[in-house]
Structures are given as C-alpha cells and as structure tokens.
C-alpha cells in the first residue's frame, strides 16, 4: 500500500485547527483583543492563505477530472453536494431548533433571521456557514472537468484571479457565493503545475527554490500586504500582492515540507486526515455551545477561559464523531469506489 502523504495532512490539519480556533474566538468576541501586544487578527493576517490549500492539494493529487461526464458529475454530487445538503440541514436544525426552544436567545440585528433568498444568494447555510466550501469545491470540480474537455481552454485560468477580483469590486454578485470558484480553480491548477515543476527540479533544488519563495512571501506580505478571504471572495489590500504572495507561500511551504520530507505529526496529521468531519461538524457545535450558555444566561463573551473551553469542546467532540460520521456516506462523502 502506498504510504499516505504526511505533508498535506499536516498542512490541512493546521488549516482546520486555525479555522476552528478562529471561529470560536470570533464567536466569543476576542479577535481584536490583544494578548502580549498581539491580537488574534494579527496572527490571521499571516495565515490567510490556508483555506486555499484544499484546492491546491486537490490539484496536486487529482488525476480523475476527465472521463465520462455523467459518471463524473454523479460521483462529485455524492461526495460533495450530498454532504453539503446534509450538514446544511443539520446546522439549520441546531440553529432554529435552539431558537424555537429558547426564543429569548435570539438577538435581533446581531443574528441571522430566516429569509428565503438566503437559500440561493449564499452557500453559507443557516447554522453551518463553513459548508460554503463544499458547494464551491463541487462547482470547481465540475468546471475543471469541462475545461479539460476543450483543448487549450485551461490557459484562460490565468485570467481567473482578475475575474475574481472584478467580481469582488462589483459586490460578488454570483448566487451561492460562487464568486470564489474562479480562485479555487486557479489554485487547483497551480497545485498541478507545481507538482510538475517539483519533479523537474528534484529534491535539493526544490528545497532551495521553496525557501526563496517563502522569503518572497515574507517580504511581500510586509511591503505589499493583502489578504484574500475565500469564503466571501473578499480582497483586502494590494491585488498583485495578494496573488504573488499567495502563490509563493502555497508553492514554497508545500515544496519545502514535501522535499524534506515531513514525518507524521500525530494529532495535527490525524485532524488533517479526517478534516471533513472537523470541517462540517464544528460550527453546529459552536452554536449549540453558545446557545446553551445564552439559554442559561451564562457569560461566554470576551472571556478567554470560556473560549478555551469552547475550543476544547469542539476538538474533543469532533474527534469522537470521526469514526461514526465516516461510516455514513451521505454525511462524510466517503462512498465506496467502484
């Protein structure tokens, strides 16, 4: 059996840990509070690119975007769209169910109230906003499949970051938050191209080149700082800085760790290996945690102690859920391969 790639498990594990901590800290109102002269937001400004790794990783490993279109689309529906619908429903049940049980926990103006247009305007589903990723991932895979069908069409992908930026300037108008799909496809093909480059460079040259790319990112992020938020297709700062810095760090960091190579880091790699469960389950758990606190009139806002307990609660429960969720294909997307 081929040994599992520890590098991308490690990077995806870091991404999941960052994301879950970020959501918990934001929900507790602590993103801007300084600890030792630095805030959580300051840290996030140097790790904004982590969400892009999932698309980059998919391109690095994926070899099955061609073939019969009907069979391919059906497979993507099962593995991505079905879990998206499932966990959107679960999130909505937790969100509206808790409000129905304890109506006084709803804060008008600060919490999302139900609107039918929300169902098609955004893929950030009620009670489980991070599910946007599954919808965008699904759409990117389908688009890539048909791009591969037309010779030379993939060269248009070089324009996709500029299309994404243009959509941002006009308010990201596409339904289901699909404005970010252009960047997703760009990162997918970046991963594919980077794999070819690494094979040509060999190990030592890859390490040297990767270190140079990481150095360019550090300097560029200081001089031309910009952040791309994939979930909302938001561009903050210098457009060229965002594109160049993100390309450099995705290729540089993955190239360096792949070439070293990186050993398995038990906890982080486990989370990365089972990232789907942590990704889809943590946000309904956050709502369950804070809504029970509101129902009991307990304080959780602006409290690092409560925030730490919330983060521990998320990782413990999600880790416990891993074997159970992965047994259910319509929740995990793990359907048997024919």
- Looking at residue 121, its pLDDT comes to 92
pLDDT of residue 3: 62
Mean pLDDT of the region 237-255: 94
pLDDT of residue 338: 60
Element (H, E) at 99: helix 82-101
Category of 177 on φ-ψ map: left (φ > 0), alpha (ψ -120 to 50) or beta:
left
Q: Are 188 and 144 in contact (CB under 8 A)?
A: yes
Cβ-contact 123, 135 below 8 angstroms: yes
The pLDDT, as a whole number, for residue 1 is 46
Q: What pLDDT does residue 271 have?
A: 96
Percent of the chain scored above 70 by pLDDT? 97
Per-residue pLDDT band at 324 (split at 50, 70, 90):
very high
Lowest mean pLDDT among 69-83, 101-115, 253-267: 101-115
Torsion region of 37: left, alpha or beta (phi above 0 gives left; psi -120 to 50 gives alpha): left
Say if residue 93's pLDDT is above 50.
yes
Q: If DSSP codes are grouped into helix, strand and coil, which group holds residue 111?
A: strand
Integer angstrom CA distances of residue 312 from 102, 318, 319? 25, 10, 11
DSSP character at residue 317: H
The answer, yes or no, to whether residue 2 has pLDDT greater than 60, is no
Q: Quick one: pLDDT band at residue 41, thresholds 50, 70, 90? A: confident
**Digit-coded pLDDT (tens) for 48-68:** 888 899 999 999 988 666 678
What are the Cα distances from residue 41, in Å, to 122, 225, 260?
Answer: 25, 14, 31
Q: Give the SS3 label for residue 196.
A: helix
The CA angle 190-195-200, to the nearest 5 degrees, is 125
Find the mean pLDDT for residues 114-126: 90
Tens-place pLDDT, residues 191-218: 999 999 999 999 999 999 999 999 999 9
With a cut of 50, say whether residue 230 has pLDDT above it: yes
98-112, 275-289, 302-316: least confident range: 98-112
DSSP run (H or E) holding 279: helix 275-295
User: How many other C-beta atoms can be found within 10 angstroms of the C-beta atom of residue 77?
Assistant: 14
Of the pLDDT bands very low, low, confident and very high (cuts 50, 70, 90), residue 182 is: very high
Quote the pLDDT of residue 63. 67
* Closest among 168, 141, 158, 167 to 235, alpha carbons compared: 168
The pLDDT of residue 64 is 64
pLDDT at 228 over 80: yes
On the question of pLDDT at 4 being above 90, the answer is: no
Measured CA to CA in angstroms, residue 318 lies from 6, 134, 135, 266, 273 at distances of 21, 18, 21, 16, 13
Q: Which of 87-91, 109-113, 299-303 has the lowest mean pLDDT?
A: 109-113
What stretch of H or E contains 227? strand 226-229
If you average pLDDT over every residue of the chain, what do you get? 92
Read off the pLDDT of each residue in 271-279 and give the average, rounded to a whole number.
96
Cα separation, 71 vs 77, in Å, equals 10
Tokens for 247?
């390309």
CB 316 within 8 A of CB 308: no
Q: Are 333 and 79 in contact (CB under 8 A)?
A: yes
* CA 140 – CA 65 distance, rounded (Å): 11
**Over the stretch 132-150, which tens digit does the pLDDT of each residue have?**
999 999 999 999 999 988 8
Instruction: Say how far apart CA 48 and CA 270 lie, in whole Å.
Output: 22
Q: Quote the CA–CA distance of 122 and 12 in Å, as a whole number.
A: 25
3-state helix, strand, coil in the chain (%, to 5): 70, 5, 25
Q: What letter does residue 153 receive in the DSSP assignment?
A: G
Residue range 251-269: mean pLDDT, rounded:
91
SS3 115: coil
């Amino acid at each position: 059996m081929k040994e599992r790639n520890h590098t991308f498990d490690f990077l995806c594990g870091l991404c999941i840990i960052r994301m879950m901590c970020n959501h918990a800290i934001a929900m507790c109102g602590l993103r801007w509070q300084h600890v030792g002269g630095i805030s959580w937001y300051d840290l996030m400004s140097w790790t904004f690119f982590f969400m892009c790794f999932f698309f980059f990783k998919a391109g690095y490993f994926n070899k099955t975007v061609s073939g019969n279109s009907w069979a391919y689309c059906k497979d993507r529906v099962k593995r991505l769209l079905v879990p998206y619908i499932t966990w959107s429903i679960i999130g909505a049940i937790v969100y509206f169910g808790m409000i129905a049980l304890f109506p006084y926990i709803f804060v008008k103006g600060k919490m999302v109230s139900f609107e039918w247009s929300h169902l098609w305007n955004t893929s950030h589903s009620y009670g489980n906003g991070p599910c946007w990723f599954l919808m965008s991932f699904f759409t990117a895979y389908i688009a890539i499949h048909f791009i591969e069908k037309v010779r030379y069409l993939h060269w248009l992908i070089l324009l996709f970051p500029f299309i994404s930026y243009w959509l941002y300037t006009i308010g990201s108008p596409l339904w289901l938050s699909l404005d970010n799909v252009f960047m997703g496809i760009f990162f997918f093909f970046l991963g594919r191209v980077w794999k070819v480059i690494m094979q040509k460079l060999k190990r030592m040259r890859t390490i040297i080149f990767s270190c140079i790319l990481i150095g360019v990112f550090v300097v560029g992020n200081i001089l031309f700082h910009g952040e791309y938020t994939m979930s909302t297709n938001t561009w903050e700062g210098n457009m060229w800085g965002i594109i160049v810095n993100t390309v450099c760090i995705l290729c540089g960091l993955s190239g360096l760790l792949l070439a070293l190579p990186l050993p398995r880091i038990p906890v982080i790699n486990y989370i990365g290996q089972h990232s789907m469960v942590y990704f889809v389950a943590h946000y309904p758990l956050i709502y369950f945690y804070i809504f029970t606190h509101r129902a009991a009139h307990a304080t959780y806002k602006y409290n690092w102690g409560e925030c730490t307990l919330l983060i521990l609660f998320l990782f413990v429960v999600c880790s416990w859920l891993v074997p159970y969720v992965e047994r259910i294909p319509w929740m995990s997307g793990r359907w048997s391969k024919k």
